[in-house]
Amino acid sequence: MNECYYDKRMDFFYNMTNTDTVDEWTGPKLIVVLCFGTFFCLFIFISNSLVIAAVVKNKRFHFPFYYLLANLAAADFFAGIAYVFLMFNTGPVSKTLTVNRWFLRQGLLDTSLTASLVNLLVIAVERHMSIMRMKIHSNLTKKRVTFLIISIWAIAIFMGAVPTLGWNCLCDITACSSLAPIYSRSYLVFWSILNLVVFFIMVVVYIRIYMYVQRKTNVLSSHTSGSISRRRTPVKLMKTVMTLLGAFVVCWTPGLVVLLLDGLNCTYCGIQNVKRWFLLLALMNSVMNPIIYSYKDDEMWSTMKRMICCSSEDKNQDRRSSRVPSTVLCRSTDTSGNYVEDGIIQGTICGKGDLGDKGNS
């Protein structure tokens, strides 16, 4: 019967698998890495929060596609949390971690990847349902979309917890990988191949849907009198989704290939030298997605810009109103008082106040 090592710290497993934990990452180099990592994570938190808020705020986004897009932003936000936890539990610190803390560190990353992947798969199904009926949005009810979102996170959490639940090498040291010292190599092979196959399937599905949309749009454009912008809307949404999928595949595929090579016990592939760069590339995916949303969707960018603008205008207006309280109080006593107080609250929002009421005051 094999001996199990649940009570050991990670330095035991790193030494057994000859894993490089980069002891030289200290001093200025560590500070630079933490500064850049902190900047990117802050951008991930702020930008993805804006995307979620935009979907909630703008009623034009109250459709299944945008609910799922907001959930993808939530997955990126969660990825930011995983990267923050990783930043302070990597390098020399890795050897001091307990087994459970190391499982938590990797489980957060695996959960964020799975949440994004499954969400993109669900978006593919939603787009297929819409496109085949030549509609902009599918007929999914809010209850069904809520169920799908809950299911996405349930699957993501389960997949992130699989190694903790038993598929590890704590009782079989010879099966441990070098990149993930307490993950079984067989699990890395399964995990990598599963994700790469899903990547391939989604790429094929999206290409097929996009070709179908282009063909149908060209046929209908010569037989219908509908607005050009309306006919192009499904194509624009598909371009947004395909850009997101392309960025996801480009950012995550190198890391998954490295994990696959490690699972296959490739000792001559030099995977230790590239693993950190590929992890950084995966981090960039969560940075790129909000930029893609705003660049490819004019309405999304306008909504986000209005929210930022309104926030800054509200702060400036609060400061201005605190400087001239006597003017407000004095004028609020006459018949035009309502206009003055309302104007402070409403008329200056993003420069779009109801100036037409001024003549009636």
| pLDDT given at position 336 | 36
Among 110, 112, 56, 87, residue whose Cα is nearest residue 289: 112
- Burial label for 49, CB within 10 Å (0-12, 13-18, 19+), is middle
In angstroms, rounded to a whole number, what is the distance separating the alpha carbons of residues 136 and 230? Answer: 9
| pLDDT given at position 358 | 41
* Ranges of the chain whose pLDDT falls below 70: 1-2, 18-27, 29-30, 133-138, 217, 220-235, 311-361
Q: How many helices (H) and strands (E) does the chain have?
A: 11, 0
**Pair of tokens at residue 117:** 């992947």
Report pLDDT digits (tens) over 270-311: 777 777 788 888 888 888 888 887 777 778 888 888 888 875
Cβ–Cβ under 8 Å, residues 251 and 288: yes
**Pair of tokens at residue 254:** 């190198």
Cα separation values, 227 from 63, 212, 232, Å: 21, 20, 9
CATH topology of domain 24-219+231-309: Rhopdopsin 7-helix transmembrane proteins (1.20.1070)
Q: Which residues are CB-neighbours of 164 under 8 A, at least 6 positions away? A: 100, 103, 107
In angstroms, rounded to a whole number, what is the distance separating the alpha carbons of residues 267 and 263? Answer: 10
| pLDDT given at position 134 | 63
| pLDDT given at position 335 | 38
| pLDDT given at position 20 | 58
3-state secondary structure of 94: helix
| pLDDT given at position 27 | 63
| pLDDT given at position 334 | 39
In angstroms, rounded to a whole number, what is the distance separating the alpha carbons of residues 117 and 79? Answer: 12
| pLDDT given at position 324 | 39
| pLDDT given at position 232 | 54
